[in-house]
């Protein structure tokens, strides 16, 4: 998978429903061990809570898991998981901590509360596109630096290292599906820039 949506950063968000506190926590994760470590950390931190419900979806092996953690079946973990899936997010783990306030919410109320908590924490964490990019090296004259930078930025390329010597050496991470990057730079520099595509690549978050 060369492109998918995930969250920008870890975040927490709290809501109150009929005196029950719902504290939602979200974190970007790279694998199942990361997700389980995050879940266990929140269970330890909020050891005195009534429930620590969780859900996570991973790119790796298309894994998705959830737990109601003692809430009535289908009222907590699945609503949280449904939000993640509806937002089409991957590599995301959510833990919703509940402190019972003494008033029963009923099945429908629980579903709404866990859905609202999960959606709120994801919205506040921020959603980004994660794109696999290939690394290109460019050598150009100083007089053409601005043209190279403008052309690369126009097509969503991400600047890497830059070195100033007798010429300028730049690195750009280019989205995997931008097949004509060399042509773009050649057109901007009238063919005077030296461009090399490397075997290196990585995922980069963009808006």
133 near 176, Cβ under 8 Å? yes
Q: Which residue has the tokens 């997010």?
A: 89
Q: Are residues 87 and 10 in the same domain?
A: yes
DSSP 8-state symbol, 89: B
In this structure, are 11 and 112 located in the same domain? Answer: yes
Q: In this predicted structure, what is the pLDDT of residue 205? A: 87
Same domain, 18 and 110: yes
Do 60 and 162 belong together in one domain?
no
pLDDT of residue 82: 98
Residue 195's Cβ-count burial label (10 Å; 0-12, 13-18, 19+) is: buried
- What residues make up the domain containing 169? 132-206
Does 154 share its domain with 93?
Answer: no
Domain shared by 174 and 86, yes or no: no
Model pTM score: 0.84
Whole-Å CA distances, 32 to 58, 65, 94, 121:
7, 10, 13, 20
* DSSP 8-state code for residue 168: E
Question: CB 112: neighbour CB atoms within 10 A?
Answer: 15
Task: Please report the pLDDT score of residue 193 as a whole number.
Answer: 94
Residue 157 near residue 173, CB atoms below 8 Å:
yes
Give the pLDDT confidence score for residue 18 in this predicted structure. Answer: 94
168-175 and 127-140 strand pairing: antiparallel
For position 162, which CATH number holds?
3.30.70.240
Please tell me the predicted confidence (pLDDT) of residue 130.
92
Q: Which of 125, 146, 180 is the last residue of a domain?
A: 125
How would you write the pLDDT of the chain (207 residues) with one tens digit per residue?
Answer: 789 999 999 999 999 999 999 999 999 999 999 999 999 999 999 999 999 999 999 999 999 999 999 999 999 999 999 999 999 999 999 999 999 999 999 999 999 999 999 999 999 999 999 999 999 999 999 999 999 999 999 998 999 999 999 999 999 999 999 999 999 999 999 999 999 999 999 999 886
Predicted local distance difference test score (pLDDT) of residue 64: 97
Domain boundary pick from 82, 108, 125? 125
């Amino acid at each position: 998978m060369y492109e998918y949506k995930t969250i920008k950063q870890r975040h927490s968000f709290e809501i109150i429903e009929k005196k029950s506190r719902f504290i939602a926590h979200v974190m970007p994760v790279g694998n199942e061990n990361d997700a389980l470590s995050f879940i266990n950390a929140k269970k330890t931190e909020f050891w005195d809570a009534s429930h620590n419900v969780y859900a996570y979806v991973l790119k790796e092996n298309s894994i998705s898991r959830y737990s109601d953690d003692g809430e009535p079946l289908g009222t907590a973990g699945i609503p949280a998981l449904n939000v993640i899936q509806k937002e089409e997010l991957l590599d995301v783990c959510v833990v919703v901590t509940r402190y019972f306030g003494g008033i029963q919410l009923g099945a429908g109320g629980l579903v709404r509360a866990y859905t609202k908590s999960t959606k709120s924490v994801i919205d506040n964490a921020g959603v980004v596109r994660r794109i696999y990019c290939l690394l290109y090296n460019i050598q150009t004259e100083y007089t053409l630096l601005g043209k190279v930078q403008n052309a690369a930025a126009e097509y969503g390329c991400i600047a890497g290292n830059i070195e100033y010597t007798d010429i300028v050496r730049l690195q750009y991470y280019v989205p995997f599906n931008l097949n004509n990057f060399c042509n773009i730079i050649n057109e901007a520099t009238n063919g005077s820039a030296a461009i090399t595509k490397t075997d290196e690549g990585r995922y980069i978050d963009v808006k």
